[in-house]
């Protein structure tokens, strides 16, 4: 893809902070280089991204986009990002991981857009990508009622395995929810030594019954294959699984939902075509793509789940600032806890 045209496309996007118009993007043509590689988590999310983001980009620019699987900042992925042996143009990553990787020099900074405040961080390494809501989910063919988080922990009354994320984020919040902590008090409790101990004690009660997962696709697989009676799953994965069935089989507990925000980042030791990577990131982060993605991924609660009076409270987001400050120490304890049991 000619650098001058892509640079012009990127500059136009950054200056207007709005999606590329067809008349502008149609001028961009593929130069014969290989596809741009995007690292994302496995699951139905990839199909949505392909339809909403990558296909339109390729149609307008003639530049192919290929996806590869990736999951969080594990030690192996840290090594891969530092090595320069991957050729990723973009990576989909959680907000707090984006900030951590930025601090450690793993990702490149993005220029601020004209619509942003002059006080915007000049060294920011991520641009908003999408959000996923995580819920207590279950197979209605095996469990006919609507469980609570307390039921999730009650294996005596509701025998069976439980699916949880092999990461302290989401998992410790859920442990406190199951222990009766209201959503708006989660981080006040989790931020104290006694509150953190409380979350680990609650988690230890369920430990023998947990099936651990590391990606949205794996979380859904646990339910579809009957490996767990209940699991924590993105609502978008549940919707995608039900879409292929004559009648919906899988259900969500619609309050509380835990919302995880994701960013696009460009690896510092990744793509050799930074101009193309920046153009793709700017396209993916444009308001039209974000709106279309979230319309597909933020699944509205069905009518049966709505309260008789009022409306369901919104999902509460994972606290990025909390996890940016505390994840290294808490994750070390969490990993040690996993290895000891």
Q: What is the CATH number of the domain that holds 212?
A: 3.40.190.10
- Could you give the CA distance from residue 288 to residue 1 in angstroms, rounded to a whole number? 23
Please tell me whether residues 197 and 324 are part of one structural domain: yes
Higher pLDDT, 10 or 307: 307
Please tell me whether residues 74 and 8 are part of one structural domain: yes
Q: Give mean pLDDT, residues 319-336.
A: 94
Please tell me whether residues 35 and 103 are part of one structural domain: yes
- Could you give the CA distance from residue 280 to residue 289 in angstroms, rounded to a whole number? 12
Q: What percent of the chain lies above the pLDDT cut of 90?
A: 61
Token duo for residue 23: 């008349």
**Confidence band of 131 (pLDDT split at 50, 70, 90):** very high
Please tell me whether residues 179 and 279 are part of one structural domain: no
Average pLDDT of the chain is 85
Token duo for residue 333: 């304890």
**175 within domain boundaries:** yes
Q: Are 255 and 313 in contact (CB under 8 A)?
A: yes
Number of neighbours of residue 220 by Cβ within 10 angstroms: 25
Domain membership of residue 154 as a residue range? 132-260+314-340
- Could you give the CA distance from residue 276 to residue 273 in angstroms, rounded to a whole number? 6
- Could you give the CA distance from residue 254 to residue 206 in angstroms, rounded to a whole number? 22
Q: Is the dihedral of CA 58, 61, 64, 66 positive or negative?
A: negative
Give the pLDDT confidence score for residue 38 in this predicted structure: 94
Q: Which of 236, 232, 202 is nearest to 219 (CA)?
A: 232
- Could you give the CA distance from residue 202 to residue 185 in angstroms, rounded to a whole number? 16
Threshold 0.85, pTM exceeds: yes
**304 within domain boundaries:** no
**251 within domain boundaries:** yes
Give the pLDDT confidence score for residue 80 in this predicted structure: 83
**335 within domain boundaries:** yes
Please tell me whether residues 218 and 326 are part of one structural domain: yes
Please tell me whether residues 204 and 73 are part of one structural domain: no
Asked which of 5-14, 88-97, 115-124 is least confident by mean pLDDT, the reply is 5-14
Give the pLDDT confidence score for residue 81 in this predicted structure: 83
Give the pLDDT confidence score for residue 204 in this predicted structure: 97
- Could you give the CA distance from residue 73 to residue 93 in angstroms, rounded to a whole number? 8
Q: Give mean pLDDT, residues 79-97.
A: 87
Q: Which of 17, 132, 88 is nearest to 271 (CA)?
A: 88
Q: How far is CA 244 from CA 54, 84, 133, 236, 248, in A?
A: 23, 40, 20, 13, 9
Supply the DSSP symbol for 298.
S
The residues facing 232 across adjacent strands are 136
Token duo for residue 302: 């069905």
Please tell me whether residues 168 and 59 are part of one structural domain: no
* Number of Cα atoms under 13 Å in the Cβ half of residue 252: 28
Please tell me whether residues 39 and 10 are part of one structural domain: yes
- Could you give the CA distance from residue 66 to residue 28 in angstroms, rounded to a whole number? 18
**Backbone dihedral region of 66: left (phi > 0), alpha (psi from -120 to 50 degrees) or beta?**
beta
- Could you give the CA distance from residue 230 to residue 160 in angstroms, rounded to a whole number? 8
- Could you give the CA distance from residue 246 to residue 262 in angstroms, rounded to a whole number? 32
Provide the domain count of the chain.
2
Give the pLDDT confidence score for residue 236 in this predicted structure: 94
**98 within domain boundaries:** yes
Please tell me whether residues 117 and 104 are part of one structural domain: yes
Please tell me whether residues 80 and 207 are part of one structural domain: no
- Could you give the CA distance from residue 5 to residue 175 in angstroms, rounded to a whole number? 51
State pLDDT tens for residues 184-242. 999 999 999 999 999 999 999 999 999 999 889 999 999 999 999 999 999 999 999 99
128: pLDDT strictly greater than 80: yes
**334 within domain boundaries:** yes
Q: Give mean pLDDT, residues 38-61.
A: 92
Q: Are 116 and 227 in contact (CB under 8 A)?
A: no
**305 within domain boundaries:** no
**8 within domain boundaries:** yes
Supply the DSSP symbol for 96.
H
Give the pLDDT confidence score for residue 319 in this predicted structure: 95
Please tell me whether residues 333 and 186 are part of one structural domain: yes
Give the pLDDT confidence score for residue 260 in this predicted structure: 94
Please tell me whether residues 79 and 212 are part of one structural domain: no
Biggest CA–CA distance in the chain, Å, is 65
Higher pLDDT, 31 or 143: 143
Of 84-88, 143-147, 172-176, 241-245, highest mean pLDDT: 172-176
**Confidence band of 123 (pLDDT split at 50, 70, 90):** low
Higher pLDDT, 99 or 124: 99
Give the pLDDT confidence score for residue 117 in this predicted structure: 47
Give the pLDDT confidence score for residue 234 in this predicted structure: 95
């Amino acid at each position: 893809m000619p650098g001058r045209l892509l640079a012009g496309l990127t500059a136009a996007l950054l200056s207007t902070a709005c999606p590329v118009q067809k008349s502008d993007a149609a001028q961009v043509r593929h130069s014969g280089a290989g596809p741009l590689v995007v690292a994302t988590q496995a699951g139905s999310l990839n199909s949505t991204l392909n339809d909403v983001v990558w296909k339109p980009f390729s149609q307008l620019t003639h530049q192919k986009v290929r996806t590869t699987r990736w999951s969080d900042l594990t030690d192996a992925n840290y090594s891969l990002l530092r090595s320069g042996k991957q050729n990723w143009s973009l990576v989909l990553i959680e907000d707090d991981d984006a900030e951590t990787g930025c601090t450690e020099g793993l990702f490149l900074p993005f220029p601020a857009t004209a619509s942003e405040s002059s006080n915007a961080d000049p060294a920011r390494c991520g641009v908003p990508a999408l959000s996923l809501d995580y819920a207590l989910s279950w197979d209605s063919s095996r469990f006919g009622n609507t469980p609570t988080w307390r039921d999730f922990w009650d294996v005596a009354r509701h025998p069976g395995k439980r699916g949880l994320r092999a990461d302290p984020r989401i998992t410790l919040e859920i442990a406190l929810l199951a222990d009766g902590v209201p959503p708006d008090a989660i981080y006040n409790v989790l931020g104290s030594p006694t509150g953190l101990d409380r979350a680990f004690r609650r988690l230890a009660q369920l430990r023998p019954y947990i099936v651990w997962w590391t990606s949205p696709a794996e979380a859904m697989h646990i339910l579809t294959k009957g490996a767990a009676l209940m699991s924590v799953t993105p609502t978008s994965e549940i919707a995608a699984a039900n879409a292929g069935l004559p009648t919906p089989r899988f259900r969500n507990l619609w309050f509380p939902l835990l919302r995880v925000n994701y960013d696009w980042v460009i690896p510092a030791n990744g793509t050799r075509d930074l101009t193309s990577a920046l153009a793709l990131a700017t396209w993916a982060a444009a308001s039209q793509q974000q709106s279309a993605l979230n319309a597909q991924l933020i699944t509205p609660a069905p009518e049966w789940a709505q309260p008789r009076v009022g409306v369901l409270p919104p999902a509460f987001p994972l606290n990025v600032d909390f996890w940016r400050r505390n994840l290294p120490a808490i994750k070390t304890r969490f990993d040690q806890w996993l290895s000891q049991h």
